[in-house]
Amino acid sequence: MSIDVDTARRVAKLARIRVDESDLPALADELNGIVTFMEQLNAVNVDGVEPMTGVTPMRLKRREDVVTDGNMPERILKNAPDAREGFFAVPKVVE
C-alpha cells in the first residue's frame, strides 16, 4: 500500500491541513517512508490476539449525575479568537 499524490491530498483534506498542490509529491514521499517503516508489523503473527486496552485491569471511573461544573461563560469564551454576544463566532457555515 503506497501513498500517491491523490492519497496525500485526501489525507491533508481529512486532517484539515492546507497543503499546496506543489508540496503534495514531497508529502506523499515522506508519508510513504513512514508507512513502509510501519509495514514491518505485517511480519508479526497476531492471530487470536486481542488488541491491548489497559495496563492492569481497572474499572472505568464513573461520576454521579450531579451538576458540578459550568456557569462560567466568560471563562469559556476568554481565549476565543472571535466571540460575540456570548457565542463563539466562526466564518459562516453553509449547510
Partner 1 sequence: MLDLTYTAPKPKVIQGAKDDWELVIGMEIHAQVSSNAKLFSGASTAVGAEPNSNVSFVDAAMPGMLPVINEFCVEQAVRTGLGLKAAINLRSAFDRKNYFYPDLPQGYQISQLYHPIVGEGEVIVEMGPGVARHVRIERIHLEQDAGKSIHDMDPTQSFVDFNRTGVALMEIVSRPDIRGPEEAAAYVVKLRQILRYLGTCDGNMQNGNLRADVNVSVCRPGQYEKYQATGDFSHLGTRCEIKNMNSMRFIQAAIDYEARRQIAIVEDGGSVTQETRLYDPDKNETRSMRSKEEAHDYRYFPDPDLLPLEIEQAWVDDIAARMPELPDAKKARFMGDFGLTDYDANVLTAELEAASFFEAVALGRDGKQAANWVINELFGRLNKEGLAIGESPVSAGQLGGILDLMQKGEISGKMAKDLFEILWTEGGDPAEVAAAKGMKQVTDMGAIEAAVDAIIAANPDQVEKAKANPKLAGWFVGQVIKASGGKANPAAVNDLVAKKLGM
Partner 2 sequence: MSKSLNSLTIAEARDGLRKGEFTASELTGACLTAIDGADALGAFVHKTPDIAREQATAADARLAKGDAPDLCGIPLGIKDLFCTKGVPGQAASNILAGFLPEYESTVTSKLFGAGAVMLGKLNMDEFAMGSSNESSCYGPAVNPWRSDDRELTPGGSSGGSASAVAADLCLGATGTDTGGSIRQPAAFTGIVGLKPTYGRVSRWGIVAYASSLDQAGPMAKTVRDTAIFLQAMAGHDAKDSTSADIPVPDFEAALTGDIRGKKIGIPREYRADGMPAEIAALWAKGADMLRDAGAEIVDISLPHTQYALPAYYVIAPAEASSNLARYDGVRYGHRAKLSQGDGITEMYEKTRAEGFGAEVKRRIMIGTYVLSAGFYDAYYNRARKVRALIKRDFDQVFAGGVDAILTPTTPSAAFGLGEMASADPVQMYLNDVFTVTVNLAGLPGISVPVGLDSQGLPLGLQLIGRPWEEAALLNHAYVLEKAAGFVAKPGKWW
Contacting residues toward partner 1, per CB under 8 A: 10, 13-14, 16, 51, 53-54, 58-73, 76-77, 82, 84-95
> Is the Cβ of residue 16 or residue 22 nearer to partner 1 in the bound state?
16
Which of 21, 22, 43, 86 is close enough to bind partner 2 by CB under 8 A? 43
Compute CA 40 distance to the chain's CA centroid, rounded to the nearest angstrom: 24
Residue found by looking up cell 485491569 in the block: 57
Residues contacting partner 2: total by CB under 8 A = 53
Q: Report if residue 91 touches partner 2, rule: CB under 8 A.
A: yes
- The closest of 3, 14, 13, 7 to 39, measured between CA atoms, is 3
The least distance separating partner 2 from the CB of residue 78, rounded to whole angstroms, comes to 6
- Show the cell assigned to 9: 491530498
- Spatial distance between the Cα atoms of 66 and 75, rounded to a whole number of angstroms: 21
